[in-house]
Amino acid sequence: MKNKALKRLIYGLLIILVSLPFFSFSLSINSSKDTVTGNGYKIKTIIVDAGHGVRPSGAVGHYSPGASGSYSFERNVTLAIALKLQVELEKQLTGVKVVLTRSTEEDVAWQKRADIANANKGDLFISIHCNSLADRTIREVIGHKHHKPIYKTVEVPNRSGKGVLILVYGFHRTKEEEKAIKENLIEDDSEMNTDPDPNDPASMILMNEYKRKYRKQSIHLAELINNEFVQTDGRPSEGIREQGVLVLCHSAMPAVLVETGYINNPDDEAYLNSEKGQDEIVASIVRALENYKNEVESVSQPQ
């Protein structure tokens, strides 16, 4: 970076970032005025992502239909929960706008989902999914020959999975995350439209601080959501895992993926398709987001 004024701004931002443990904000730089949104930060936009969908007619590229149960499909359950979550979040969290990555049955490409989140300057990204286990391969005896068993390999459904799982993005997609952060946070400056210069300490320190903050916030939000599922709803949980989910690491904001249950488990499928189950899932996520919002906004208030 050759711009001295920009460097001074970056060093100033580092001080602010280090001093606010939960703080997340958008940075805007232009040639006429340097602007930093700091004290009094509010969560204004939450992105709700309904996983999967029906492949659009004529679409090219990778689309995933999602998991299925004995009578229902993940894409329908996630959309139903996402629509309810939008209504309840805007009702319960004053001043918060909720943007859906899809509001119809049609699927949206993974990268486009992240693009929607970044274009709307989301403060949080919540992706709704249903889990499923692959069939198990077993060998069964189908007869005997010369007093020796004859085996056949068959696939049988594995319905043993039950409960929730929360995912956060993994470290192995760091470069993709850096690109998304820079595109979302820094505008109107040609020097900042390439990858961070590894020879510029200020640039790399700032980028690493954003990554650290977003990861810390993502894990904390995941913990709050998981606690609500377990402690309030009594749901079994597999906890929080790190996974290289494209839509999470390409969204330049704290982001979590919520596996709301195993749709190929009969009990979970019934719960996921019931009004009671969907309402409980939505209420738990809303409570967690409300707690998170109160935390980050109280931290960023001027002293």
Residue 17 near residue 213 (C-beta atoms within 8 A) = yes
Mean pLDDT of the chain: 81
Instruction: With CA atoms as reference, report the closest residue to 272 among 285, 260, 287, 288.
Output: 260
What pLDDT shows up at residue 13? 52
Cα atoms found within 13 Å of the Cα of residue 239, Cβ hemisphere only: 3
Element of type H or E holding 291 = helix 275-299
Burial of 238 (0-12, 13-18, 19+ CB in 10 A): middle
What pLDDT shows up at residue 121? 93
Whether the per-residue pLDDT at 16 is higher than 60: the answer is no
Whether the per-residue pLDDT at 142 is higher than 60: the answer is yes
Q: What is the spatial distance between Cα 160 and Cα 142, in angstroms, rounded to a whole number?
A: 25
Mean pLDDT of 109-133: 95
Residue 69 near residue 260 (C-beta atoms within 8 A) = no
Q: What is the pTM for the complete model shown?
A: 0.78
Whether the per-residue pLDDT at 18 is higher than 60: the answer is no
What pLDDT shows up at residue 208? 63
Which value, in Å, is the radius of gyration of the alpha carbons in the chain? 22
**Helix 110-119 × helix 174-185 angle, to 10°:** 30
**Helix 201-227 × helix 4-19 angle, to 10°:** 30
Q: What is the spatial distance between Cα 217 and Cα 124, in angstroms, rounded to a whole number?
A: 10
User: What domains does the chain contain, in order, with CATH numbers?
Assistant: 43-55+63-133+160-299 (3.40.630.40)
Element of type H or E holding 150 = strand 148-156
Mean pLDDT of 27-55: 67
What pLDDT shows up at residue 158? 87
**Helix 266-273 × helix 275-299 angle, to 10°:** 70
